[in-house]
Amino acid sequence: MEEGREGRKETGSGQEVMGEGLVKGRERVEGGREGAGAMGGKLMLGIKIVKTVAIDLLPSINPS
Q: What is the pLDDT along the chain (64 residues), one digit of tens a residue?
A: 444 444 444 444 444 444 455 555 555 445 455 555 566 666 666 677 777 777 777 766 655 5
* 47 CA to centre of own chain: 10
Instruction: Give the chain's domain count.
Output: 1
What's the confidence (pLDDT) of residue 40? 62
**Domain membership of residue 50 as a residue range:** 2-61
Nearest to 42 by CA among 56, 55, 29: 29
> Would you state the pLDDT for residue 34?
57
What's the whole-model pTM score? 0.25
Q: What is the pLDDT at residue 18? A: 47
